Amino acid sequence: MVIVIAVVILTSLSFILGIVIVLVTSIYEKKDDKYEEILKRLPGFNCGSCGYAGCADMARHILEEKDAYKKCKPLRGEKLLEMENYLSK
């Protein structure tokens, strides 16, 4: 019986603390809109021809340095214009 009480107490405590952490995260965590927008405009092949570890890593580098998008090889035509338009904003 004692072990059941211990398990219940520990579980409910972790549950409550988990909820508190999620609440605090949702209040303070900024949504990285720009990152998401750039990622959406990348081809999404994860080919790695740009030299980064996939499109997500590429998007992170574009946030720091705008010209990095030129390294993306599959990005051409309309998609390339779209990206240039977005970044020049």
Partner 1 sequence: MNLISLFILAFLTENVVLTKFLGTCPLMGTSNKMKSAFSMGIAVTVVTTVSSLISYLIYYYVLVPSEVTYLKTVTFILVVASLVQITEIIVKNKLPKLYKEFGIYLPLITTNCMVLGTILLGISNEYNLIEMLVYSFGSSLGFLLILYVFASIRERLNQTKIPEALKGYPISLITIGLIAIIFSRFI
The residues binding partner 1 (CB under 8 A) are: 2, 5-6, 9-10, 13-14, 17-18, 20-21, 24-25, 28-30
Could you tell me the smallest distance in angstroms from the CB atom of residue 89 to partner 1? 23
Residue number with CB closer to partner 1 (21 or 81): 21
Residue number with CB closer to partner 1 (10 or 47): 10
Could you tell me the smallest distance in angstroms from the CB atom of residue 10 to partner 1? 7
Question: Rounded to 5 degrees, what are φ and ψ at 48?
Answer: 80, 10
Could you tell me the smallest distance in angstroms from the CB atom of residue 39 to partner 1? 20
How many C-alpha atoms does 6 have within 13 Å on its Cβ side?
Answer: 3
Residue number with CB closer to partner 1 (60 or 79): 60
Residue with tokens 């405009």: 41
Rounded Cα distance, 56 and 5, in Å: 46
Residue with tokens 């998609």: 79
CB-CB contact of 50 with 71 (8 Å): yes
